[in-house]
Structure 1
Amino acid sequence: MSKTREGRTRRGTLAAVAALAGAAALVTVPGAAASTTAAPTWHQSWNETAYRGQVEVVRTPRGPADPDVLTGTVFVDHDRDSASDRRERGLAGVEVSNGRDVVTTDRHGRYRLPVYDNMTVFITQPAGYQVPVDEHNVAQFHYNHLPAGSPPLRYGGIAPTGPVPDAVNFPLVRSRDTGSREQHCVIAGDLQTYDRTEVEYARRGAIRDLSRRHDYEGCGSLFIGDVVGDDLSLYPDVKGLTALTNGPARFLPGNHDLDFDAATAEHSFDTFRAELAPAYYSYDVGDVHVVALNTVRYPCTPDVDNADGLRPGCDDPVNDPSYNGRLDEDQLRWLERDLAKVDDDKLVLVASHIGLLNFADEGSAIHQVDQVREVYDLLAGRKAVAVSGHSHSIENMRTGDLVKGWQDLFGVDGLPFPHITAGAISGDWYSGELTEDGYPTAIGRDGGRPGVVTLDIRGDEFRERYSVTGERDRVQTQLGINSPTYRDWYVERQAWNDDREGPAPELTDPLVVDRADLAGRTWLTTNFWMGSTGAEVKVRLDHDRPREAVRTQPMRGEDQRIGPEWSDPHAVAQQLVHGGSLADRSMHLWRFELPADLAPGGHRAVVTATDMHGRTFVDVLRFQVVEQR
Structure 2
Amino acid sequence: MRMLSASSRDRNKPRVPLALAALAVVSSAVTIVPATAAQATSTTSATSNLSATSATGRAWNETAYRGRVEVVRAQDGPADPSVLTGRVFVDDDRDSASDRNERGLGGVLVSNGRDVVTTDSRGGYRLPVHDNMTVFVTQPSGYQVPVDESNVAQFHYNHLPEGSPALRYGGIAPTGPLPSAVNFPLVRSSLTQSSEQHCVIAGDLQTYDKEEVEYARKGAIGDLSKRNDYQGCGTLFIGDVVGDDLSLYPDVKGLTGLTNGPARFLPGNHDLDFDAETAEHSFDTFRAQLAPAYYSYDVGNVHVVALNTVRYPCTPDVDNADGRRPQCADPANRPAYNGRLDEHQLAWLERDLAKVDRNKLVVVASHIGLLNFADESSPIHQVDQVGQVYDLLKGRKAVAVAGHSHSIENMKTGDRVKGWQDVFGVDRLPFPHITAGAIAGDWYSGAITEDGYPVAVGRDGGRPGVLTLDVKGSSFKERYTVTGESDRVQTQLGVNSPTYRQWYVDRQAWNKTPEGAAPELGDPNVVTRADLAGRTWLTTNFWMGATGSTVKVKIDGERARPAVRTQELRGEAQRVGPEWSDPHAVAQQLVNGGSVADRAMHLWRFELPADLSEGEHRAVVTATDSYGRQFTDTLRFRVVEQR
TM-score normalised by structure 2 residue count: 0.93
Match of 1:6 among 3, 23, 34: 34
Match of 1:448 among 462, 471, 476: 462
3-state DSSP class of the match of 2:350? helix
Q: Deviations over 1:151-203 (max 9, x none)?
A: 00000000000010000000000000000000000000000000000000000
Q: Deviations over 1:189-228 (max 9, x none)?
A: 0000000000000000000000000000000000000000
Matched, 1:206 2:234: no
* Corresponding residue number in structure 1 for 2:22: none
Alignment of 1:218-297 (within 5 A): 218-297=232-311
Matched, 1:507 2:521: yes
> Equivalents in 1 of 2:524, 2:236: separation in Å?
39
Kindly indicate whether the alpha-carbon contact (under 8 Å) linking 2:563 and 2:605 is maintained by their aligned counterparts in 1.
yes
Matched, 1:21 2:37: yes
Letter in 2 for 1:144: N
> Equivalents in 1 of 2:201, 2:153: separation in Å?
15
* Corresponding residue number in structure 2 for 1:580: 594
Letter in 1 for 2:445: S
> Equivalents in 2 of 1:65, 1:22: separation in Å?
16
Letter in 2 for 1:21: A
Q: Deviations over 1:411-462 (max 9, x none)?
A: 0010000000000000000000000000000000000000000000000000
3-state DSSP class of the match of 2:277? coil
Match of 1:306 among 320, 323, 342: 320
* Corresponding residue number in structure 1 for 2:97: 83
* Corresponding residue number in structure 2 for 1:175: 189
> Equivalents in 2 of 1:192, 1:105: separation in Å?
37
Alignment of 1:60-79 (within 5 A): 60-79=74-93
Runs of 4+ deviating beyond 6 Å: none
Q: How far apart are residue 22 of structure 1 and its match?
A: 4.2
> Equivalents in 2 of 1:137, 1:445: separation in Å?
32
Matched, 1:162 2:190: no
Letter in 2 for 1:329: E
Kindly indicate whether the alpha-carbon contact (under 8 Å) linking 2:204 and 2:438 is maintained by their aligned counterparts in 1.
yes
* Corresponding residue number in structure 1 for 2:341: 327
Match of 1:46 among 60, 67, 71: 60
Letter in 2 for 1:279: A
Letter in 2 for 1:207: I
Match of 1:523 among 496, 516, 537: 537
Match of 1:493 among 491, 507, 522: 507
> Equivalents in 2 of 1:464, 1:422: separation in Å?
10
Alignment of 1:391-470 (within 5 A): 391-470=405-484
Q: How far apart are residue 101 of structure 1 and its match?
A: 0.1
> Equivalents in 2 of 1:62, 1:628: separation in Å?
89
3-state DSSP class of the match of 2:620? strand
Match of 1:139 among 153, 171, 176: 153
Q: Deviations over 1:273-327 (max 9, x none)?
A: 0000000000000000000000000000000000011111000101100000000
> Equivalents in 2 of 1:188, 1:129: separation in Å?
23
Q: Deviations over 1:367-421 (max 9, x none)?
A: 0000000000000000000000000000000000011100000000100000000
3-state DSSP class of the match of 1:234? helix
> Equivalents in 1 of 2:303, 2:38: separation in Å?
34
Unpaired runs of 5+ in structure 2? 1-28, 40-53
41-50 or 401-410, which deviates more: 41-50
Match of 1:557 among 556, 563, 571: 571
3-state DSSP class of the match of 1:83? coil
3-state DSSP class of the match of 2:219? helix
> Equivalents in 1 of 2:77, 2:37: separation in Å?
12
Alignment of 1:184-203 (within 5 A): 184-203=198-217
* Corresponding residue number in structure 1 for 2:359: 345
Kindly indicate whether the alpha-carbon contact (under 8 Å) linking 2:38 and 2:72 is maintained by their aligned counterparts in 1.
no
> Equivalents in 2 of 1:531, 1:320: separation in Å?
40
> Equivalents in 2 of 1:47, 1:478: separation in Å?
36
Kindly indicate whether the alpha-carbon contact (under 8 Å) linking 2:408 and 2:434 is maintained by their aligned counterparts in 1.
yes
Kindly indicate whether the alpha-carbon contact (under 8 Å) linking 2:242 and 2:271 is maintained by their aligned counterparts in 1.
yes
3-state DSSP class of the match of 1:386? strand
> Equivalents in 2 of 1:89, 1:63: separation in Å?
24
Percentage of matched positions with identical amino acids:
80
* Corresponding residue number in structure 2 for 1:388: 402
Matched, 1:610 2:630: no
> Equivalents in 2 of 1:472, 1:108: separation in Å?
47
> Equivalents in 2 of 1:228, 1:406: separation in Å?
29
* Corresponding residue number in structure 1 for 2:48: none
Match of 1:217 among 211, 225, 231: 231
> Equivalents in 1 of 2:609, 2:55: separation in Å?
61
Q: Deviations over 1:128-150 (max 9, x none)?
A: 00000000000000000000000
> Equivalents in 2 of 1:193, 1:561: separation in Å?
31
Letter in 1 for 2:30: S
Kindly indicate whether the alpha-carbon contact (under 8 Å) linking 2:239 and 2:269 is maintained by their aligned counterparts in 1.
yes
Letter in 2 for 1:48: E
* Corresponding residue number in structure 2 for 1:378: 392
Letter in 1 for 2:388: E
* Corresponding residue number in structure 1 for 2:6: none
> Equivalents in 2 of 1:609, 1:22: separation in Å?
59
3-state DSSP class of the match of 1:518? helix
Q: How far apart are residue 21 of structure 1 and its match?
A: 2.3
* Corresponding residue number in structure 2 for 1:27: none
Match of 1:534 among 529, 535, 548: 548
Q: How far apart are residue 42 of structure 1 and its match?
A: 3.2
> Equivalents in 1 of 2:617, 2:192: separation in Å?
50
> Equivalents in 1 of 2:388, 2:324: separation in Å?
18
> Equivalents in 2 of 1:507, 1:118: separation in Å?
58
Q: How far apart are residue 627 of structure 1 and its match?
A: 1.2
Give the paired residue count.
601
3-state DSSP class of the match of 1:576? helix
Unpaired runs of 5+ in structure 1? 8-19, 24-39
Q: How far apart are residue 41 of structure 1 and its match?
A: 9.9
> Equivalents in 1 of 2:57, 2:144: separation in Å?
18
3-state DSSP class of the match of 2:213? helix
3-state DSSP class of the match of 1:207? helix
* Corresponding residue number in structure 2 for 1:476: 490
Q: How far apart are residue 544 of structure 1 and its match?
A: 1.2
Letter in 2 for 1:587: M
Q: How far apart are residue 503 of structure 1 and its match?
A: 0.2
Kindly indicate whether the alpha-carbon contact (under 8 Å) linking 2:206 and 2:443 is maintained by their aligned counterparts in 1.
yes
> Equivalents in 2 of 1:48, 1:6: separation in Å?
30
Q: How far apart are residue 543 of structure 1 and its match?
A: 2.1
> Equivalents in 2 of 1:524, 1:592: separation in Å?
5
Q: Deviations over 1:572-603 (max 9, x none)?
A: 00000000000000000000000001111100
> Equivalents in 2 of 1:114, 1:532: separation in Å?
45
Letter in 2 for 1:337: R
